[in-house]
Amino acid sequence: MRLLLGLSFFAFQLLLSAPLLAQTSRVQEFVLDNGLKVLLLEDHKSPAVTFQVWYRVGSRNEEDGKSGLSHFLEHMMFKGTNKVGPEEYSRIIAKNGGRSNAFTTQDVTVYFATMSREKIGIEIDMEADRMANALLNGKYFEPEKKVIMEERRLRTEDNPVSSLAEVTAAMAFTVHPYRRPVVGWMQDVESLTREDLRRHYQTYYAPNNAFIVVVGDFATEEILAKIKAAFGPVPRGPMPPKVKIEEPPQSGERRIILKKEAELPFLLIDYHVPNLNSPDSFALDLLSVVLAGGRSLRLYQDLVYHKRIAQSVDADYDGLSMDPSVFSVTAQVMPEKDPLEVEKAIYDLLERVKSEPVNERELEKAKNQIEAAFVFGQDSVFGQAMRTGQYEATARWQLLDSYLAGIRKVTTADILRVAKKYLDPDQRTVGVLMPIKEQNQ
Amino acid sequence: MKKIVFAVLAVAFALSLPAVSETRLTPERSVLENGVVLLTSEQRALPMVTLHFLIQAGSRYDAEGREGLANLTSRLLTYGTRDKTALQISEILDFIGASLSTSCGQDVATVSLTVLKKDLDTGLNLLAEVLTASVFSPEEIERQKQSVIASIRAKDEDPGQVAQIKFSEALFPRSPYGRQVEGSEDSLKRADRAQLLEFYERFYRPERTILAVVGDISHQEIAQKLTQAFRPWKKGAAIKDSPPVSPPGPANIIRVNKTITQANITMGHGGVRRSDPDYYAIQVMNYILGGGGFSSRLMDSVRNERGLAYSVSSHFSAEKYVGSFAVTMQTKNETAQEAIRIAKEEIQRIRQEKVKDQELQDAQDYLIGSFPLRLDTNRAVANFLSLVEFYGLGLGYPEQYPELIRRVSQEDVLRVAKKYLQPEKLIVVVVADQKKAQIQK
C-alpha cells in the first residue's frame, strides 16, 4: 500500500466486515475495443464519484526472489509520465478537491480517486496516461525502495500480529504464491531492480488485463464517453501468463511458534477452503458468522465472556481470493492465560459445529446479519466500488446479484456439512505468537 | 489514544465543511423537552438509520486517582440493564444485524447505533434502556476491568501508541488531558459499582447530550419517537463544569527503549482551541507543512527526497478546551536523528519565509473542494453534525467555511507559523532501539 495508515485501515475494515453489497443489476457493464471492461454504478446520494482501475496482478503473479514486485511497481506508478511530473499525480487530484491512493493485494493492484462529478475527468485522463506511459524513473527508484523497506518495518517487522500472519501463511501454503507476503521479503525488496519493474509493468499493465469500476454521482453516458476518449487509444497488450500453480492437499497439522517482544499471546488457525466459485462458499460465510458474528455468538460467548481467556476472537472466511484461500479463526489471548488453553477451547467449539447442526435461530440470526450488512454496505460509494471490484476480480461482478439468494438457501445441514468437510484438523495450520520480554532501559 | 483518534476526526470534519446544498444534508435542529439537542439529516436512499449520541461524560470528569472510571462506565452501558442481561442485549442486536458501539474520549462519550429502518423501534427502546437503566453488576464490572487491563497492555506492544501516550503525558502534565482514557491498572482496581453508578447518574443526562440522526426518517418523526422512547430520561442536577487548566509541559527529549527496527517519533507542543480565530489560517499552514498527505513539505523532504519514512505527517489538533501540534513519523533506528533534524528544518522554514502563492492556493482548493466529498456516508454525516453542535459552529457554518479558508493570505500563513510553531518548546518522544538510534539533544 502506498496509503497512509488511516485510510488503509479503513479499506481493510471494509474487506473484512461486509462481504456483500449491490442491488440487483444496477451495475452496467461495457467493454472497450482494447479489452478494457468498464463497470458503472450510478448512486446519487452524495456528491462524490469514486473511480478505480483494477489491474489483475498482485503477489500471486510473482516468483521466488522477486516478492514485493507488484507492490513496488504500485509505488513507482506515482513517479510520473511524460505529461505528469513525479508525485504530481497526488497533488493534482488534491488541488481539485479529490482524494486518491492505491493498494496491492495478493490478486490485484488498484488505483483510485474520489472526486466531484465536475472534476473526475482529471482522474480518468491521468489513469489512462499512466496505464501506458509510466516512466518508472530510475532517479526515484532507490529512495522509493527505502520507503518500502520502512513500510515493511512499520507494518510487519515491528508488528507482532502481522509477523505471525506472515509466517503462518508461509507455512499454510508450501507451493502456491499465497505463501509470500504482498510487501515482499526484505531481502527480495532490497534486490529488486528497475528492469524487474519495467518487465512487470509491460507484462501486466494493459487494458485487457484491467477493469474499471466507477460508483457515485455521475451520468452513465457522460462518464462512459470520457472513459472511451481517454482509455480507448491505449493499445491492447499480449495476454499475461496465467498462474496455474495449485496448492497440493495438506495431510496433517502444521504448527509454527513465533517468539517476539509483545504483550499478549495471539493465536491464528488457518483451514484450507475454496473461494466463492464454490457452491460451499455461502455456507462457509454463514459458518463464520455463526461462530463469531457478534457478542451473542459462540466464540465470543465461550472464550471472551464465560471463560475469560481471550480478549477478542474472530472467524473469517476469505472467499474473495482468486485461488482457494483460508478460513481463519483468530484470538487475542488474555494476559497470563495459556494460548494452548484457548486453542483447545476453540477446537471444542469447532467440534460441536461439526457434530451437531446449529439451531435454526442461530442460522436465522446469521442470515439477518448478512442481510443488514448488505444494506449498510451500500452507504458508501467507495465501499460499493470495492466490492464490485472484488467480485469481478475473483469471479464475475454478476455473482453479487445472486449473493443474498444464495445465503437465504443455506440450511443447518449445509453448515454441518461444510464444517465437517473443511474444519479438518489435518487441514489446519496453527500460528502462535509467544511474547517475550526484552530487557528494557 | 482515544483522544488522538477523536481529535483527528474533529479536525477532519471541522476542516472540510461543505456548502449545505452541495452536500445534500438539509440539516434540522431542535431541542427535545428533556434537553437533548437533536440534529437530523433525512437521507431516503437506503432503508437504514444511524443514531449518534455525544454525551459530555468523557475522562476529563474522572477524579484524580480514579482514572478510567468514565471509560469503564461507557464500556459497561451495553452489559446489562434492569430488564436485560448482557447476553439478552447482544442477542437482540445480533438478531437484527444492528451495530451498537460505545466509546469514551476525553471530553465526550459516544454511543452509536445503525439499524435497518424496520428495526428502528427495537433499537430505540434498547438505547433508552442502555442510557437510563444500566445496572453495572459486579460480575460485569470485573469482566470489563480485566478487558481494559488487557487493552492497556496491548497498546504497549504498539510503539506508535507508546510514543503518543508519552507525548500526551509530557504535553499536559497534571491534567486529565495528559492521561489515558483507560486509566491505569492501579486506578482501575479502585473503581467500584458505587462510583460507576454515581458517574452514570451524574453525567449521562439528556441536557448533556447531542444526538445526530441520519437516514430514512424525518426530523418530526424521529423527534416523536425519541420523546416516547426516552420518557424516563430526565435532566440531572446542575454540574459546575470548569474545564481543567492545562498549561503545556516544557521542551524535553523522552526516550523509550524497545527491541524494534524503527524509531517511532512524535514531536510537538501546545496548540490552540477549536474556537481560536486563527484556527483556519493554522489549518491552511499545517496542510502545507505536513497535513496535506502526499502534497506536504514534510512528505517531500522526509519521504520522497530521502526515503527516510513511509509515513510522516503533522497535525494541529484543536479540541474544545485544549490544543496540540505534533509531527508523527517512523524511520529505521539509525536514521532517527536525521529525520528529526529534517522535520525541524521544515518547521523553521515555514516560519521564516512566505509560502508560495501556488502552495497556498492548492491548500485552499483542497480544503474547500474535498469537504462535500468526505460526507459520503450516513455515519460520517452524523459525526459531522454532532461535532458542529459540540463546537458551537452553528448550522450556518457550512456556508461560511469556503470564505473562512479562502481569505487566508500568505501573510496570515507566515504569521500563524511564527506564532504557533515553537521549535524551542518541542517535546520529542522517540520509541526505538536506543542503542541504535543514539538520539542527541
Q: Residue range A220-247: average pLDDT?
A: 97
Residue B124 falls inside a structural domain:
yes
- pLDDT > 90? residue B132: yes
Same structural domain, B224 and B256:
no
- pLDDT > 70? residue A18: no
Same structural domain, B204 and B293:
no
Does the annotation count A74 as an active-site position?
Answer: yes
Same structural domain, A212 and A347:
no
* Chain B hits for A145, Cβ within 8 Å: 307
Same structural domain, A224 and A313:
no
Residue-wise pLDDT for A326-352, tens only, equals 999 999 999 999 999 999 999 999 999
- DSSP 8-state code for residue A238: P
Same structural domain, A46 and A156:
yes
What pLDDT shows up at residue A138?
Answer: 81
Residue-wise pLDDT for A273-304, tens only, equals 999 999 999 999 999 999 999 999 999 999 99
Same structural domain, A100 and A150:
yes
Q: How confident is the model at residue B376 (pLDDT cuts 50, 70, 90)?
A: confident
Residue A236 falls inside a structural domain:
no
Same structural domain, B289 and B344:
yes
Contact A263 B377 (CB under 8 A): no
What pLDDT shows up at residue A92?
Answer: 97
What is the ipTM metric for this complex? Answer: 0.91
| Contact of B178 with B172, CB cutoff 8 Å | yes
What pLDDT shows up at residue A2?
Answer: 53
Residue B401 falls inside a structural domain:
no
Q: Which residue of chain B is at minimal alpha-carbon distance from A333? A: B150
H-assigned helices in A321-397:
339-355, 360-376, 381-394
Q: Which residue has the cell 501468463?
A: A241
Residue A298 falls inside a structural domain:
yes
Residue-wise pLDDT for B35-67, tens only, equals 999 999 999 999 999 999 999 999 999 999 999
Same structural domain, B180 and B301:
no
Same structural domain, A272 and A200:
no
Residue-number span of the structural domain to which B367 is assigned: 252-372+408-437
d(CA B287, CA B17): 16
Same structural domain, B430 and B327:
yes
Residue A191 falls inside a structural domain:
yes
Q: Could you tell me the maximum CA-CA distance found in chain A, to the nearest angstrom?
A: 65
Residue A303 falls inside a structural domain:
yes
Q: Residue range B12-31: average pLDDT?
A: 60
DSSP B374-404: H--SHHHHHHHHHHHHHTT--TTHHHHHHHH
d(CA A379, CA A290): 25
Residue B377 falls inside a structural domain:
no
Residue-wise pLDDT for B186-199, tens only, equals 999 999 999 999 99
Residue A241 falls inside a structural domain:
no
Q: How confident is the model at residue B12 (pLDDT cuts 50, 70, 90)?
A: very low
Same structural domain, A318 and A377:
yes
Q: Which residue has the cell 443526562?
A: B205
Q: How confident is the model at residue B17 (pLDDT cuts 50, 70, 90)?
A: very low
Specify the number of domains making up chain B: 2
**Burial track A369-379 (b if 16+ CB lie within 10 A, e otherwise):** bbbbbbbbbbb
Q: What burial class does residue A239 get, using C-beta atoms within 10 Å of its C-beta: 0-12 exposed, 13-18 middle, 19+ buried?
A: exposed
C-alpha cell at A413: 445441514
- pTM for this entry: 0.93
Same structural domain, B225 and B256:
no
Same structural domain, A57 and A162:
yes
- pLDDT > 50? residue A20: no
Q: Which residue has the cell 497488450?
A: A237
Helix (H/G/I), strand (E/B), else coil: A4: coil
Q: Which residue of chain B is at minimal alpha-carbon distance from A378? A: B46
Contact A154 B330 (CB under 8 A): yes
Q: Residue B198 carries which side chain, given as an amino acid letter?
A: E
d(CA A218, CA A215): 8
Considering chain A, what percentage of its residues have pLDDT values greater than 90?
91
Q: Residue range B73-86: average pLDDT?
A: 97
Same structural domain, B212 and B257:
no
> A250 to chain B, minimum CA–CA distance in Å?
34
Same structural domain, A278 and A381:
yes
Same structural domain, B213 and B310:
no
What's the mean pLDDT when you consider all of chain B?
Answer: 93
Q: How confident is the model at residue B142 (pLDDT cuts 50, 70, 90)?
A: very high
Q: Residue range B97-123: average pLDDT?
A: 97
Q: How confident is the model at residue B441 (pLDDT cuts 50, 70, 90)?
A: confident
Specify the number of domains making up chain A: 2
- pLDDT > 60? residue A41: yes
Same structural domain, B312 and B193:
no
CATH number of the domain enclosing B146: 3.30.830.10
> A241 to chain B, minimum CA–CA distance in Å?
32
Residue-number span of the structural domain to which A409 is assigned: 254-436
Q: Looking at A74, A123, A144, A362, which residue is catalytic? A: A74
What pLDDT shows up at residue B16?
Answer: 37
H-assigned helices in A205-303:
220-231, 281-292, 298-299
Q: Is B406 on the interface with A (CB under 8 A)?
A: no
B 296-355 near A (Cβ less than 8 A): 300, 303-311, 313, 330-332
Same structural domain, B15 and B136:
yes
Residue A288 falls inside a structural domain:
yes
> B240 to chain A, minimum CA–CA distance in Å?
37
Same structural domain, A134 and A272:
no
Contact B310 A144 (CB under 8 A): no
Residue A389 falls inside a structural domain:
yes
- E-strand ranges in A129-279 read 210-216, 254-261, 266-273
Same structural domain, B220 and B279:
no
Residue A108 falls inside a structural domain:
yes
Same structural domain, A302 and A222:
no
B51: closest CA among B207, B198, B182, B229?
B229
Same structural domain, A106 and A179:
yes
Q: Residue B267 carries which side chain, given as an amino acid letter?
A: M
Residue-wise pLDDT for B295-326, tens only, equals 899 999 999 999 999 999 999 999 999 999 99
Q: Is B139 on the interface with A (CB under 8 A)?
A: no
Task: Break chain A down into helix, strand, coil percent, rounded to 5.
Answer: 50, 20, 35
Same structural domain, A142 and A86:
yes
What's the mean pLDDT when you consider all of chain A?
Answer: 93
Residue B237 falls inside a structural domain:
no
**Type and span of the H or E element at A30:** strand A28-31
Terminal-residue alpha carbon distance, chain B: 27
CATH number of the domain enclosing A380: 3.30.830.10
Same structural domain, B289 and B222:
no
Q: Which among B146, B157, B294 has CB closest to A87?
A: B294
DSSP B188-250: HHH--HHHHHHHHHHHS-GGGEEEEEEESS-HHHHHHHHHHHTTT----------PPP-PPPP
Q: Is B247 on the interface with A (CB under 8 A)?
A: no
